[in-house]
Homo-oligomer: A and B are copies of this chain.
Amino acid sequence: MTSQEAIQHLSHLLAQTRQQAPVPFTERDAKRALAALLTTDNLWEAIRLSHVPLRALTAFWHQLIAAELLEARDGALRLTKSGQALAQALGVAPAREATCPHCEGRGVDYHTLPEQVVTRFAEICKQRPEAIQAYDQGFVTEATTLSRIAFAWHRGDLEGKTIIVLGDDDLMSIAAALTGAPARILAIDIDERLIQFINEVARREGLDRLEAVRYDLRDPLPTSWLRSFDTFMTDPTESFLGFKTTIERGLMALRGPGCAGYFGLTHVESSYEKWARIQRFLLDSGAVLTDLLDDFSAYINWGYIESMRSWKWLPTHRPPERSWYYSALHRIELLRTPALENTAVEGDIFSDEEAATT
């Protein structure tokens, strides 16, 4: 196959993929997907390495299978000889990871936290509530939560600060409180189980600066929380509306310029088109992006995986054995007070065309 033929073939596959899945999917995305398939035959590893929205990725896989370029069997994906030839003619090489083994690629060493923060957090996590689908939950590894807190401390957003955590199945509020560094921490969540758990931990562990309050992000932020915090942390649902709503609540909770926000964003549910749209929204809101650490956050596999929206899109089915869902940690800092309206939001904030886990 010549390079020219390969490009034509890919272009045909792309057109069909876009017809099947109405989400952005670029030629580069297709090459990333092929690179992943050259690297692993594990379905979940292929998702992790592809860095492509799962909706488009699975549609692309189905096109490859129909064209006899890929075989899907027993939870494994294998490029056929023609599939390998196509990848080669396109100049696609296997993915070559350069992740630091010591910090799992985060650049942050959470062992810089006091040792008892790490041990007490591990003990507390043993009794945490299970992730549930109704609220699009799915929590990160303990190393991820601790690394986020170590990073916020490093950036000067923890010690002596008032912190709001918007949605806290990752238990960031507890890890932050265990350091003893923040002045005050408020965790808000729609899930009554989490509110009870966090408040119970706060009482039992003597974390008197930590409080959890039930709140639905679709409601306007209570007046007493407006312009009251130095730092917000969140791991939003990724429909554009859900994401924007969550970040706007976070921005409105900040005192003003110089305050910081932390949030996660994935490839599994968000295309680079959506990333760009979010970046513009942040700039328009008066924020600058100061850090963007991809694959920082690793998620523990949740129990409802077989009933998630994307399960039926998979060409072969086997539950994952290792983490496959990652998100990129973003830090923003406010340069201006954002002009935002604290109004109620109607409708489905959990889903858009690229959503995969709801």
Task: Specify the chain B residue showing the minimal Cβ separation from A256.
Answer: B27
A100 to B110 CA separation, bound complex (whole angstroms): 8
Residue A160 at the chain B interface, CB threshold 8 Å: yes
- In the complex, what distance in Å separates the CA atom of A289 from the CA atom of B31? 19
The total of chain A residues at the interface (CB under 8 A) is: 57
Residues of chain B lying within 8 A (CB to CB) of residue A273: 288, 335
> Are A107 and B27 within 8 A (Cβ)?
no
A140 in contact (CB, < 8 A): no
The answer to whether A257 touches B28 (Cβ under 8 A) is yes
**Given contacts A91-B160, A110-B98, A257-B27, is CB(A290)–CB(B294) below 8 Å?**
yes
Which of A121-129, A146-154, A219-227 lines the interface with chain B? Answer: A146-154
Q: How near does chain B come to A26, taking the closest CB pair, in angstroms?
A: 6
Q: Which of B93, B156, B276 contacts A95 (CB 8 A)?
A: B156
Task: Report copies per complex.
Answer: 2
Would you call A181 an interface residue if the criterion is a C-beta within 8 Å of the partner chain's C-beta atoms?
Answer: yes
Residue of B nearest to A26 (CB): B258
Q: In whole Å, how far is A294's beta carbon from the nearest beta carbon of chain B?
A: 6
Contact A289 B292 (CB under 8 A): yes
Contact status B159-A93, CB under 8 Å: yes
Judged by a CB distance under 8 angstroms, whether A35 is at the interface is: yes
Say yes or no for A136: interface residue by CB 8 A criterion: no
B28 touches A97 (CB 8 A): no
A96: contacting residue among B95, B107, B112, B287, CB under 8 A: B112
What chain B residues lie within 8 Å of A280 (beta carbons)? 280, 283
Could you pull out 18 A-B pairs where Cβ atoms are within 8 angstroms?
A26-B257, A31-B258, A35-B156, A93-B181, A95-B154, A98-B110, A98-B112, A98-B150, A98-B151, A99-B109, A99-B154, A100-B109, A101-B102, A103-B103, A272-B335, A273-B335, A290-B292, A291-B292
